[in-house]
Amino acid sequence: MCSCPSLWVCFGALYPLFILSAVCNVDSMLFFPMASAENYVTFSLTLPDLHELSVCLWLRVEAQHIGTLLSYATDDNDNQLVLYGHDPVYRRLPVWSLLDARWHHLCILWSSIQGRFWHYSDQHLISSGSNFRKGWEVPGGGSLVLGQEQDIVAGGFDAAEGFAGQVAGFRVWKRVLTPAEVEGMSLRLKNLAVSGNMLSGLNVSQPQPHVCTGRVRYCRA
């Protein structure tokens, strides 16, 4: 999707890694080389109490399944939010079209009002519904992890539930994005301009040694 070389940090070293493809015009990238209990990242920020939520990211998966891309745990419930995991599944989201080793832009939007949710893939709304966790509040102050499923706060990881692949431009908003905002990001027109995100890939804490971080800025598609 993007031919410019990207700069990656892996194993504490800094070097261009040409075997990895890159998404243009995003501000952060992560590479999880294999599903492992050690391959995950945490964040320097946590989430506030949320009645609405949008999560968008670019995703590239060469594996035959998507493990747990994201999990959010609190002391009360280790499964407050789990994206593409299977412990437990509240809503099945179609993912087979993502398993083609190509970059895809995903947005998952949810509102406690009517419990509505929207699942976009490459700007297309591929599933939506209502009465999903209607009236619920995502409690703030928990532990957000990419690449692993938490069974306790910031722990209880299982290699079988891990994620392998690349993530770019990860962002979380405390509101439901508009279809035009989702489309703009998918077309990489406004990825840096959709305001109000409260957390992004730039807020990753020191990643585990085998997770690589990369950056590409303003390269041409």
Binding footprint of Ca ion on the chain (CB under 5 A): 78-79, 87, 151
Nearer to Ca ion, 140 or 155 (CB): 155
Nearer to Ca ion, 143 or 213 (CB): 143
Distances (CA, A) of 107 to 54, 68, 79, 120: 7, 16, 20, 5
Cα 155 to Cα 158: distance, rounded to the nearest angstrom: 9
Cβ atoms 22, 2 nearer than 8 A: yes
Cα 50 to Cα 47: distance, rounded to the nearest angstrom: 8
Smallest distance, Å, CB 51 to Ca ion?
23
Cα 161 to Cα 194: distance, rounded to the nearest angstrom: 31
Cα 21 to Cα 55: distance, rounded to the nearest angstrom: 22
Smallest distance, Å, CB 150 to Ca ion?
5
Nearer to Ca ion, 78 or 183 (CB): 78
Smallest distance, Å, CB 2 to Ca ion?
34
Nearer to Ca ion, 156 or 184 (CB): 156
Amino acid at 92: R
Smallest distance, Å, CB 79 to Ca ion?
5
